[in-house]
Amino acid sequence: MQLVALQMNAQTDWLQNRAQIQALLQRLPVERPCLVLLPENFACMGGITDYQALSEPLGSGPVQRQLSEWAKEFGIWLVAGSLPTWVSQQNRSHTTSLVFNPQGELTGFYHKLHLFDVDVADARGRYRESDTFVAGDDITVVPSPFGGLGLSICYDVRFPELYHLLRQHGADVLLVPAAFTKVTGQAHWLPLLQARAIENQCYVIAANQCGTHAGNRETWGHSVIIDPWGDILAQQGSQPGLIVATFDPQKTEHIRKTMPVQLHARLSPAWRE
Q: What is the pLDDT of residues 113-169, one digit of tens each?
A: 999 778 887 877 778 888 889 999 999 999 999 999 999 999 999 999 999 999 999
pTM above 0.85, yes or no: yes
Catalytic residue chosen out of the listed positions 40, 56, 129, 218: 40
- Determine the Cα–Cα distance for residues 213 and 216; give it in Å rounded to an integer: 6
Per the annotation, the verdict on 112 as an active-site residue is yes
Please give the residue that has the higher pLDDT: either 195 or 46: 195
Per the annotation, the verdict on 40 as an active-site residue is yes
Catalytic residue chosen out of the listed positions 112, 129, 202, 218: 112
Amino acid identity for residue 185 in this structure: G
pLDDT given at position 203: 98
- pLDDT over 80 (residue 108): yes
Q: Average pLDDT, stretch 43-49?
A: 90
Give the domains, in start order, of the chain with CATH numbers.
2-272 (3.60.110.10)
pLDDT given at position 270: 55
- Determine the Cα–Cα distance for residues 68 and 86; give it in Å rounded to an integer: 19
pLDDT given at position 127: 82
- pLDDT over 60 (residue 269): no
Other Cβ atoms within 10 Å of 169 Cβ, number? 12
Give every CB contact of residue 52 below 8 A, 6+ residues apart in sequence.
Answer: 84, 91, 93, 132
pLDDT given at position 131: 87
String of DSSP letters for 98-147: EEE-TTS-EEEEEE-SS--EEE-SSSS-EEEGGGTB-------EE--TTS
pLDDT given at position 259: 95
Amino acid identity for residue 116 in this structure: F
pLDDT given at position 128: 85
Q: What is the pLDDT of residues 218-253, one digit of tens each?
A: 999 999 999 999 999 999 999 999 999 999 999 999
Catalytic residue chosen out of the listed positions 34, 44, 154, 210: 154
pLDDT given at position 122: 81
Q: What is the pLDDT of residues 168-217, one digit of tens each?
A: 999 999 999 999 999 999 999 999 999 999 999 999 999 999 999 998 89
**To the nearest whole number, what is the mean pLDDT of the chain?**
94
